[in-house]
Amino acid sequence: MREGGAVAGAGPHGVLRGTPVVPGVGHGPVVRPGSAPAIPDEPPPDEPTDVLMAGFASAAEAVAQRLEELGRNASGEAADVLAATAGLARDRGLAAFVRKRIDAGSGVSAATAGAVAELSEMFRAAGGLMAERVTDLADVRDRIIARLTGAPEPGVPVPTEPSVLLARDLAPADTAGLDPTLVLAIATELGGPTSHTAIIARQLGIPCVVAVPGLADLPEGDSVLVDGSIGEVLRDPGPDVVRDRTATAAAAARAASTWRGPGSTRDGHPVEVLANVQDGAGARVAALGPVEGVGLFRTELCFLDVDIEPTVEQQAEVYADVLTALGGRKVVIRTLDAGSDKPLPFVTTPDEPNPALGVRGLRIARENPGVLERQLDAIALAARQVGSPVWVMAPMLSTIAEAAVFGSLATERGMVAGAMVEVPSAALQAAGLLRHLDFVSVGTNDLSQYALAADRMSPALSDLTDPWQPALLQLVAMTGAAGRAAGKSVGVCGEAAADPLLGCVLVGLGVRSLSMATSAAAAVGAQLAQVDLAQCEEAAAAVLRCDDPTQAREAARGVLL
């Protein structure tokens, strides 16, 4: 049950509802991923463990190489996700669990399945991004067992005609290899706005809706329409519905294809449209698009595989790569958001009972003050080397005292100082923070998680972490009002910024910049160009009067479309 007691996904005339993550419309027959390979009935092994482990190692390495091959044919975040999944196949912890089960008398396929089940429970308990990797683990399990048993490679079959892909969930390898000319839309029962399915579908430009209950009742071959703009899946839509929805989506796509920036509303109110990046390669892709710069450079993702802290000079080289790619355009660098679902060996506190509420982000400076100061020194060095101004912001900042300290550290190094608003206390005290900072940027992914006490990676709670939740938007409104009063910039760099309609609402709440996946920028910019600031403010006011995300979306559409 969700949203005031309504059955999740219920709707009139064969309409299922979920969370929209990639706008657009796709219509066609249903296709589904193939079944996972069966685990054979294996007699107790009569071969030595080392021999069986050699077979497992060979199959796991073949899977890793296949995932890397798929990654080489992908790009951006899709390539990164596939590379990380290949790492799971080679994980020594997985191999150790398999060996333990073989030693206990299991066959190699059963040992693989049992080991993945054990690891999956550990990942779910860790929460955050680790919990999301459970889908990736299941994909690795199925691929290894298929290699061991000679079964066909699991995954999505290549459709014989343009189709709509429905699934309970999709692994990165399933999604990254999709052909947008054959897979016209995606809908899944699980997942959320930050799931791998959503991230890769957004990059490929495939309309996508996630967290849609009831998809299992739609048989393969049935005609369905997926509307990624409003989060609906329609069974057997009539020709008039298909024509009208397709025409609306096509008009939006045409507007996006011709939008070149800079961002502004129709009446000339400026709104910076920026990109989120994690390294120099992503920055170079962003620089080719219509964005005005980078609103979020996630520095910790450059160091996930580093055992010891990089030197100031080594860090500066990484940061300079991004600054150089943007050629003097705005770059906002977030200091290390380590901990919780992004552990870094050189700063993360081990065995925290609740890491999402523990020592992460700016809080690592409590026990490792030199790490923050050395990173700021490295950013300042990179800025001098490239000759580019730099904005820098702290993640997980919670108090005015923290804002004062961070603001001082950044400004004394010649940088524009800011902070992420991810913790409700930061939104509640935004006016106080801005006495010490030059700007703030709202991270809607984490702010929704903390405001509604719902793990943003939990499929069962995706309705609570929907970026259209009125409670979340009320916190954004408080932050925007503080920015207006102080005459300082408020941005949004969570997944909410990638929703064209919600982007207009955020502007109406006082947001001056929107940062998102590069692939989403044109659609957001084009939507802003079609509305006036007064419409954005009217839509924002209407949304804040709503009780749930569905009402909020409908209210915004009534004003803006």
Q: Are residues 416 and 283 in the same domain?
A: yes
Strand ranges in 255-398 using DSSP code E only, listed in sequence order: 272-277, 293-298, 330-334, 391-394
Beta bridge partners of 514: 273, 492
Q: How far lies 360's CA from each of 202, 257, 366, 396, in Å?
A: 28, 39, 10, 7
| Beta strand pairing call for 232-235 and 223-227 | antiparallel
The predicted-structure confidence for 200-250, as pLDDT tens digits, reads as follows: 888 788 999 998 989 999 999 999 999 998 889 999 999 999 999 999 999
Q: Are residues 210 and 277 in the same domain?
A: no
Q: Are residues 174 and 62 in the same domain?
A: no
Is residue 501 within 8 Å of 248, Cβ to Cβ? no
Active site residue 493: yes
The per-residue pLDDT for 425 is: 97
Beta bridge partners of 218: none
Q: Are residues 245 and 264 in the same domain?
A: no
- The residues, any chain, with a CB within 8 Å of residue 417's CB and separated by 6 or more, are 392, 393, 406, 407, 409, 410, 411, 436, 437, 438
The predicted-structure confidence for 68-80, as pLDDT tens digits, reads as follows: 887 777 666 667 7
Q: Are residues 214 and 106 in the same domain?
A: no
Q: Look-up: residue for tokens 């050629």? A: 327
Q: What is the CATH number of the domain that holds 329?
A: 3.20.20.60
Q: Are residues 287 and 194 in the same domain?
A: no
Q: Are residues 321 and 415 in the same domain?
A: yes
Q: What is the CATH number of the domain that holds 78?
A: 1.10.274.10
Q: Are residues 477 and 547 in the same domain?
A: yes
In a domain? residue 101: yes
CA distance 331 to 340: 25
In a domain? residue 359: yes
The per-residue pLDDT for 377 is: 97
Which among 222, 251, 280 is the end of a domain? 251
The per-residue pLDDT for 495 is: 77
In a domain? residue 546: yes
**With the CA atoms of 54, 59, 62 and 68 taken in that order, what torsion angle do they form, in degrees rounded to the nearest 10?**
-110
Q: Are residues 142 and 126 in the same domain?
A: yes
Is residue 220 within 8 Å of 30, Cβ to Cβ? yes
Q: Would you report the helix, strand and coil content of the chain in percent, each value rounded to 5?
A: 50, 15, 35
H helices then E strands: how many in the chain? Answer: 21, 16
In a domain? residue 9: no
Count of domains forming the chain: 3
Which among 97, 125, 149 is the end of a domain? 149
- The residues, any chain, with a CB within 8 Å of residue 240's CB and separated by 6 or more, are none
Is residue 202 within 8 Å of 223, Cβ to Cβ? no
Q: Are residues 243 and 293 in the same domain?
A: no
The per-residue pLDDT for 411 is: 96
Active-site pick, 208, 302, 493, 536: 493
Residues of the chain short of pLDDT 50, as ranges, are 1-12
- The residues, any chain, with a CB within 8 Å of residue 251's CB and separated by 6 or more, are none
The per-residue pLDDT for 362 is: 85
Which among 133, 149, 165 is the end of a domain? 149
In a domain? residue 247: yes
CA distance 209 to 387: 43
CA distance 52 to 47: 7
From the list 435, 476, 472, the residue with the least C-alpha distance to 453 is: 472
Core vs surface per residue 307-328: b (16+ CB within 10 A) or e: eebbebeebbbbbbbbbbbbee
Say which DSSP state 330 is in.
Answer: E
The per-residue pLDDT for 1 is: 30
Residue 83 CA neighbour count, 13 Å, CB half: 11
CA distance 127 to 484: 36
Is residue 145 within 8 Å of 109, Cβ to Cβ? yes
Q: What is the CATH number of the domain that holds 188?
A: 3.50.30.10
In a domain? residue 8: no
In a domain? residue 2: no
Q: Are residues 141 and 160 in the same domain?
A: no
The boundaries of the domain holding residue 91 are: 49-149
- CA 408 to chain centroid, in Å, comes to 31
The per-residue pLDDT for 109 is: 92
Q: Are residues 496 and 424 in the same domain?
A: yes
Which helix (H) or strand (E) segment is 64 a member of?
helix 49-72
Is residue 427 within 8 Å of 447, Cβ to Cβ? yes
Q: How many CB atoms lie within 10 A of CB 421?
A: 32
Active-site pick, 196, 436, 504, 546: 196
CA distance 306 to 320: 19
Active site residue 546: no
> Could you give the 3-state DSSP secondary structure of residue 415?
coil
The per-residue pLDDT for 428 is: 98
In a domain? residue 43: no
Which helix (H) or strand (E) segment is 370 a member of?
helix 369-386
Q: Look-up: residue for tokens 């199925």? A: 142
